[in-house]
Amino acid sequence: MIQECQRIIEHLTHILHQLGFRPVVHFELEGVYKPKTKTKLDYSSINRILSKLGIEGFLKAEYWCNQWEYASLFNHQSPLQEANNLAKAIAVLPHIMIQFGAEEVWIQPVIWGGDQGRFVTGTKIFSTDSRPVHIPNAIQINMSIESSTGENLIYNRTLGEWLQYQLLQTSHDCCLLFLPEEDAYKRLRLKRNYQLDAELTSPHDLSGGHLGSVALYKQWGKHNQPMGVKPLIYAADNSLLSFESNWQQTARVEHRLGATSLAYDPYINMVFILLNMLEAIQRWQQSQTLPKPIPNQTLPGSLYDQKQQLGAIQLFQRENWFAPAINHFCQKLSSGYQTSMGTRIKQKYLTRFLPRSSVLAEYR
């Protein structure tokens, strides 16, 4: 299936280029490690190895104790190169990190009891409460769309709003793509189930705006901070005296719902993003007005059906956008096959979660 997804990614990218657009997509991946000693990870050595391997990303420390983040470099890489980068990073990072200070490395949605210490209510100051904090780990997708001349089209037109709107419409029923294991759904409920609202900022539902799980960042970021700030002059106490703001260059949509998982497939998720870009561009070109707001939506609580709520597997089985969208844009790639490309990709992905006979029955 990887090779088929790679062909689709190349084809969708080619369509975007023919239309005069350049997709810009970057992944971020969080995880946790257990140190061999009290010495922290040797991030510099790890990043040199990543560079030697041709992986366009770097590792850095994240917020929680022993949490790390792999972030994509901005090297103007193509969507296919970016998917390749993440696939390689997931495969090799544990081995590299063990060479440079880690005893164990976890690439999973939740690290249960990964840290301890709670905040004083209403503050970011740690209290004497030492109950464990369960650390959520995310795979985030940052995206923008440029013109053929390199102009970021998200900032000064309604294209960013349409891209956000499109993702809000398709992410619910396609959540199996970026939440591919059971702990991914427990991650969504951490704040509610373990009273961690003060400590965790991870998303729990499908929401828009500039603070939601599908966020549009223009002037303001997810912490209500000004975007695109470039420091110019610092005072003696290191406070910022002067800066310039160029949020137009950093304007983007961030899909913050993905859960870190060894089951996460960068290729099918890149297909998902490019399809949304193409349909968002079509809607934007047909209407220069802003789309109507979409109310926040609750995501499923499990891979599997629970009482009267469908699970993620059933939702993806029943949804009618993903495969038809691939079929529409990739008709040329389906020649010579009994079934169209989109239908085949969806069938193959579902076989990871269901018996093959159940998947095929859905399409008869």
CATH of residue 57's domain is 3.30.590.10
And the tokens for 329? 């844009």
Instruction: Judge residue 272's burial from the number of C-beta atoms within 10 Å of its C-beta, 0-12 exposed, 13-18 middle, 19 or more buried.
Output: buried
Per DSSP, 96 falls in state H
Asked whether residue 352 is assigned to any structural domain, the reply reads no
Summarised one tens digit per residue, pLDDT across range 9-32 is 999 999 999 999 999 999 999 999
And the tokens for 283? 């809607």
Q: How far, in Å, are 24, 156, 171, 290 from residue 312 at the CA level?
A: 28, 36, 11, 30
Return the number of other C-beta atoms located less than 10 Å from residue 205's C-beta.
13
The total number of structural domains that make up the chain: 1
Asked whether residue 105 is assigned to any structural domain, the reply reads yes
Summarised one tens digit per residue, pLDDT across range 241-253 is 555 556 557 689 9
Residue 236: its pLDDT value, please? Answer: 63
Return the number of other C-beta atoms located less than 10 Å from residue 306's C-beta.
12
Residue 61: its pLDDT value, please? Answer: 94
Asked whether residue 87 is assigned to any structural domain, the reply reads yes
Residue 228: its pLDDT value, please? Answer: 52
Q: Where are the alpha helices (DSSP H) in the chain?
A: 2-18, 43-52, 79-99, 159-170, 182-188, 190-193, 247-250, 266-286, 312-318, 322-329, 341-350, 356-362
Asked whether residue 203 is assigned to any structural domain, the reply reads yes
Residue 359, pLDDT above cutoff 70: no
Average pLDDT over residues 175-187: 97
In three-state secondary structure terms, 31 is: strand
User: What is this structure's pTM?
Assistant: 0.90
Residue 100, pLDDT above cutoff 90: yes
Which of the two residues, 63 and 125, has the higher pLDDT score?
Answer: 63
Instruction: Evaluate the CA torsion angle 323, 327, 333, 336 in order and state its sign.
Output: positive
Tracing tokens 């529409």 back to the chain, one arrives at 328
Residue 219, pLDDT above cutoff 80: no
Asked whether residue 334 is assigned to any structural domain, the reply reads no
Asked whether residue 2 is assigned to any structural domain, the reply reads no
Residue 155: its pLDDT value, please? Answer: 84
Asked whether residue 244 is assigned to any structural domain, the reply reads yes
Residue 251: its pLDDT value, please? Answer: 87
Residue 221: its pLDDT value, please? Answer: 54
Asked whether residue 221 is assigned to any structural domain, the reply reads yes
Residue 333: its pLDDT value, please? Answer: 81
Summarised one tens digit per residue, pLDDT across range 150-161 is 999 998 779 999
Residue 135, pLDDT above cutoff 70: yes
Instruction: Judge residue 337's burial from the number of C-beta atoms within 10 Å of its C-beta, 0-12 exposed, 13-18 middle, 19 or more buried.
Output: exposed
Chain mean pLDDT for the chain: 88
CA distance 263 to 132: 26
Average pLDDT over residues 235-264: 76
Residue 103: its pLDDT value, please? Answer: 95
Residue 321: its pLDDT value, please? Answer: 98
Residue 356: its pLDDT value, please? Answer: 59
Average pLDDT over residues 320-334: 92
Structural domain including 191 reads 22-326
